[in-house]
Amino acid sequence: MRKVNVKKIVVFGVLTVVMVLVVVAIGQVRTFMSGATSDVEPQSVTTIPGDDGKSAVVTWISNKESISKVEYGTTAASLVLMSAESSAVAKHNLSLTSLRPATTYYFRIRVGDEVFDNGGIPYTFKTKADTSLLVSVTPTLAVTKTPDDPAAKAVVAECDPKTDYNKDGMVNSMDLNLCKKDGGSVSSLVETATPTTVVKKTTTSSTVSCTGAIADYNSDGLVNSLDRLNCLQSQR
């Protein structure tokens, strides 16, 4: 009958116990590390874009105080910008500056070697539009002249057919046209009246005066010196 080696059995038993203890120890370490990670894991992550369109504030809370930082960028694969805290806190508040207006940003939160990226999908926010680019337009009120306005009265003044408006030494239709161009009004009787009867000069006296306001005797649409000449010839 083969003799049992007690020494080998004892050594094997000791090694088995050691291995069991190592496995248990590793499990305890993992449990401890898992608990530590949950203490600093970001909760209630919120982003508040600034009104200037160039800044934002990221806030969150954790069960344990820690020094954290935010890594961010304009694409999920390029989070090269960073803003870090200077001291350990449980209520985190980090400002992001020098951002581009109306742009979507992606970010993650890092605590030491631990990275929290919203389950593999980075957090996002969008900056506001730059309000400084908006031009403020102030409406201009149009002033309408009323009959009580002296300037309005001057505009609607009636043209005097006896006034030499163009200062050429003659009073004719050109003076009336100049007055009308300046905003004056011309009486329809002076401008378009056509006599129905031409009264010739008799031995007694003429009932038609060829001075002052005269009519369009030659029917050319204008009242001028030619009409006065025709008026004088009709009285001969």
pLDDT tens string for the chain (236 positions)? 555 566 777 777 777 777 767 665 665 545 444 444 579 999 999 999 999 999 999 999 999 999 999 999 999 999 999 999 999 999 999 999 999 999 999 999 999 999 999 989 999 999 999 877 655 555 555 544 455 555 544 444 778 777 887 787 777 778 778 787 777 776 654 544 444 444 444 444 445 567 666 677 667 777 777 777 777 777 66
- Indicate the pairing of strand 69-73 with strand 81-84: antiparallel
Domain boundaries, the chain: 43-130, 150-234
**Residue range 43-130 in CATH 2.60.40.380:** yes
Amino acid, single-letter form, for residue 142: A
Cα dist. 192→11, 112, 217 in Å? Answer: 140, 100, 10
CA distance 186 to 84: 84
